[in-house]
């Protein structure tokens, strides 16, 4: 099993307590989720209709400010799982790293020649080039024009914008109809509803049609369609949430300053710190039932999402002072 955030089972095994006792800051998922409201009974009892799915697609296009072909799928991870099957061959994949570890694992398992590179130039010549923008876990950002300049030099360019809702100026979604360009968007992170399992792939007509065929006729639930559409059309909530997150990520930086931790980078949804000894820092927070993310290959790195309310902020501050 690859390391991921959200592994509260491990926290419970090591430190005890109940799931509801813990503040899980290990994922970067918004802890003030979108208020889902009522969901009509038919969304639970009936198969999703094509018109319902198309209405969700239109809402996602509006939220992403694009007219490109789009397909809803059970989370960005589901699209990553299908990625090798978009190709009729096993080619050369180059991944801008360090980044989300599922790309290398899935492509390697499918027989691809996979290598991680440290800069955009290293992606040139790949059959598939992967860039997470902004990056997970360090928040590294790439200018959209630089990414578009790379497009003619690779077979396909995949841009993972799972944390892109808070930095819309970085998004290449408006350009996603170009041949060879594929964009992945997550719903659950910004909207705080990761359990809904909803994401989107945007790209050329051929790529989106291929992904839709692989995903099948009912790739997402009726509840995901209803809640997702409602949330994506609520731009007032999105704007207010972006403002809050922009403030709170700086608040988190200020909270940890007394610990001597150095900011490596991040997004408005998470921060990555160099702590010197991340496992010691993780255990210190865990004694107050606050869970964080560490990285086996980077022993000093600790990633933290943002507390969701004043009670959580107070618990976090108290844990740091112990």
Angstrom distance (rounded) from CA 224 to CA 211: 18
- Rounded mean pLDDT, 122-144: 98
Residue 184 has φ and ψ, to the nearest 5°, of -110, 135
Please give the pLDDT value at position 1: 63
CA 64 to chain CA centroid, nearest Å: 15
Angstrom distance (rounded) from CA 69 to CA 67: 7
Domains of the chain, with CATH numbers?
A: 8-33+236-321 (3.90.1150.10), 41-233 (3.40.640.10)
Burial label for 153, CB within 10 Å (0-12, 13-18, 19+), is middle
Beta bridge mates, 254: none
Residue 127 has φ and ψ, to the nearest 5°, of -70, -30
Q: Is the pLDDT of residue 2 over 90?
A: no
Burial label for 83, CB within 10 Å (0-12, 13-18, 19+), is buried
- Rounded mean pLDDT, 303-310: 98
Q: Pick from 248, 15, 35: which is nearest to 7 by CA?
A: 15
Please give the pLDDT value at position 81: 97
What's the pTM value of the predicted model, to 2 decimals?
0.96
Q: Pick from 166, 196, 204, 164: which is nearest to 78 by CA?
A: 196
Residue with tokens 């990625």: 83
CB 270 within 8 Å of CB 304 = yes
Q: Which two tokens stand for residue 269?
A: 């949804």
Percentage of residues of the chain with pLDDT beyond 70: 100
Q: Is the pLDDT of residue 164 over 70?
A: yes
Across the chain, what does the average pLDDT equal? 97
pLDDT tens digits, 202-254: 999 999 999 999 999 999 999 999 999 999 999 999 999 999 999 999 999 99
Q: Is the pLDDT of residue 83 over 90?
A: yes
Burial label for 255, CB within 10 Å (0-12, 13-18, 19+), is middle
174 Cβ contact partners less than 8 Å away, ≥ 6 residues apart: 64, 65, 66, 68
């Amino acid at each position: 099993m690859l390391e991921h955030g959200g592994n509260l089972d491990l926290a419970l095994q090591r430190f005890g307590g109940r799931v509801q006792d813990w503040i899980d800051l290990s994922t970067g998922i918004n802890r003030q989720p979108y208020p889902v409201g009522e969901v009509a009974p038919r969304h639970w009892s009936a198969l999703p209709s094509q018109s319902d799915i198309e209405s969700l697609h239109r809402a996602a296009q509006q939220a992403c400010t694009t007219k490109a072909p789009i397909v809803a799928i059970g989370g960005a991870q589901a699209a990553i799982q299908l990625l090798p099957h978009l190709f009729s061959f096993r080619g050369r994949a180059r991944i801008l790293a360090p980044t989300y570890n599922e790309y290398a694992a899935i492509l390697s398992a499918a027989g691809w020649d996979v290598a991680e590179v440290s800069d955009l130039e290293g992606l040139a010549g790949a059959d598939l080039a992967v860039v997470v923008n902004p990056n997970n876990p360090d928040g590294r950002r790439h200018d959209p024009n630089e990414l578009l300049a790379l497009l003619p030099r690779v077979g396909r360019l995949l841009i993972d914008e799972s944390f892109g809702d808070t930095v819309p100026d970085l998004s290449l979604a408006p350009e996603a109809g170009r041949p060879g360009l594929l964009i992945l968007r997550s719903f659950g992170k910004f909207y705080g509803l990761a359990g809904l399992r909803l994401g989107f792939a945007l790209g050329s007509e051929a790529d989106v049609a291929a992904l839709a065929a692989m995903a099948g006729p009912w790739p997402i639930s009726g509840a995901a369609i209803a809640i997702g559409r409602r949330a994506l059309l609520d731009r007032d909530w999105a704007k207010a949430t972006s403002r809050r997150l922009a403030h709170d990520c700086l608040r988190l930086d200020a909270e940890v300053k007394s610990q001597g931790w150095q900011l490596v980078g991040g997004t408005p949804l998470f921060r990555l710190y160099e702590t010197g000894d991340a496992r010691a820092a993780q255990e210190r927070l865990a004694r107050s039932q606050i869970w964080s993310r560490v990285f086996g290959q980077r022993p000093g790195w600790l990633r933290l999402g943002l507390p969701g309310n004043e009670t959580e902020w107070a618990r976090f501050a108290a844990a740091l002072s112990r």
